[in-house]
């Protein structure tokens, strides 16, 4: 099985690795290269074919953070099969577009809301913005209180899954 790697969130490239003791053969986009990654102090020396480059790296699960060519790079390693099995993006939550603080919350748990209605007001980068419901539904959970901070991608408000809401109306 092969894995895919994307650079800075761009298109993924198919990559396979076969290791022997110290060096490895890497297939990138179907072509084979001799490669070696050796620790030098806190950094690494990467050899690929004839080219040698100093790189710094840190691994966090499937993200490999690299510093090379004078800047940082974000690499994502993933299994294409696994990824396709993951659920598609849900409309059930209002997620934070950037880190910030909750300024006010306009709804409570159990409230009926309609698409476009303001649910929560947040402050990021000293600017306030209103987060609205993407569809009609009922508020299941309010995950943050006024004054609390959040990171990008955190779920601020959850709506009841659409199927349940339909059932209740029945």
Partner 1 sequence: MSLPEKVLVANRGEIAARIMRTLRALEVPSVAVFHALDRESPAVRDADEAVELHGDTPVGAYLNAAEIIAAAKDTGATAIHPGFGFLSENADFAQAVADAGITFIGPPPDAIRAMGDKIESKAIAEKAGMPTVPGSDGAVADADAALAAADSVGYPVLLKASAGGGGKGMRIARSAEECREAFDLASSEALASFGDGRVFVERYVDRPRHIEVQVLADGHGNVVHLGERECSIQRRYQKVIEEAPSSFIDPETRAEMGARAVDLAKAVGYVSAGTIEMVVDGERNFYFLEMNTRLQVEHPVTELVTGKDIVAEQLRIAAGEELGYDQSAVELTGHAIECRIYAENPAANFAPETGRLALVHFPAGPGVRVDHGTTEGQEVSASFDPMIAKVIGSGADREDAIRRSREILRETVLLGVQTNADYLERVLAHPAFAAGDTTTSFLDEHAEDLVAGALSAEEERLLLAAAALASPRFDHRFEIPEPLAAMGEWRP
| Ramachandran angles phi, psi of 81, nearest 5° | -70, -50
155 belongs to the binding site for partner 1 (CB under 8 A)? no
| DSSP codes, 114-160 | -TT-EEEEEEETTEEEEEE-SSSEEEEEE---TT-EE-TT-EEEEEP
Fill in the per-residue mask, 97 to 116: x = in contact with partner 1 (CB under 8 A), - = not in contact: xxxxx---------------
Structure token digits, residue 167: 């059932």
| Binding of partner 1 by 146 (CB under 8 A) | no
Instruction: Tell me how far apart the alpha carbons of residues 113 and 168 are, in angstroms, rounded to a whole number.
Output: 15
Nearer to partner 1, 75 or 107 (CB): 75
Binding site for partner 1 (CB under 8 A): 1, 3, 5, 7, 13, 15, 17-19, 24, 26, 28, 33, 35-37, 42-44, 46, 48, 51, 53, 55-60, 62, 64-75, 77, 79, 97-101, 124-126, 147, 149-152
């Amino acid at each position: 099985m092969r894995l895919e790697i994307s650079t800075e969130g761009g298109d993924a490239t198919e990559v396979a690795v076969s290791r022997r003791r110290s060096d490895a053969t890497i297939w990138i986009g179907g072509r084979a290269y001799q490669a070696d990654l050796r620790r030098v102090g806190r950094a690494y020396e990467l050899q690929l074919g004839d080219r040698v480059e100093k790189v710094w790296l840190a691994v966090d699960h499937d993200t490999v953070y690299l510093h090379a060519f004078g800047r940082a790079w974000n690499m994502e390693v993933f299994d294409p099969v696994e990824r396709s099995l993951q659920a598609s993006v849900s409309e059930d939550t209002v997620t934070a577009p950037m880190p910030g603080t909750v300024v006010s919350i306009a709804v409570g748990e159990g409230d009926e809301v309609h698409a476009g209605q303001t649910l929560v007001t947040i402050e990021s980068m000293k600017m306030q913005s209103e987060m609205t419901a993407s569809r009609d539904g009922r508020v299941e959970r309010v995950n943050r209180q006024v004054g609390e901070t959040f990171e990008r991608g955190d779920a601020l408000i959850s709506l009841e899954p659409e199927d349940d809401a339909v059932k209740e109306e029945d």
